[in-house]
Amino acid sequence: MARRVENLAEWGRRITGGLRSEALDSPDPRLDGLIAELDGQLSVVSPSASHLGFAVPLRVRVPEGGVAPHQHSHLVRHHR
């Protein structure tokens, strides 16, 4: 699946950012390990001009060509 996600690094960094927030609220060495593992698989990205700051749409390449934006964006809760 990962090879079909056009914006994997941007979307993945949003996911790991949410996990980091969870780790601050509820420390767990297993969660820290998961975050480190995921970080090792994602390239470094700078926010694009279309960066919303609170949601990142998942853009998946479809067999017919082009990209189909996923209807649900990953929203990260901040508990502070």
Q: What pLDDT is stored for residue 36 in this prediction?
A: 96
Strands 59-61 and 74-75: unpaired
Nearest to 58 by CA among 45, 48, 72: 72
- In a 3-state reduction of DSSP, which class is residue 16? helix
Q: What CA–CA distance (Å, rounded) separates 72 from 80? A: 24
Q: Is the pLDDT of residue 68 over 80?
A: no
CA dihedral 31, 12, 47, 66 (to 10 degrees): -170
Largest CA distance in the chain: 43
Contact 20, 34 (CB under 8 A): no
Q: What pLDDT is stored for residue 73 in this prediction?
A: 43
Q: What pLDDT is stored for residue 24 in this prediction?
A: 96
Residue range 11-34: average pLDDT? 93
Predicted TM-score (pTM) of the model is: 0.66
Q: What pLDDT is stored for residue 52 in this prediction?
A: 66
Q: How confident is the model at residue 28 (pLDDT cuts 50, 70, 90)?
A: very high
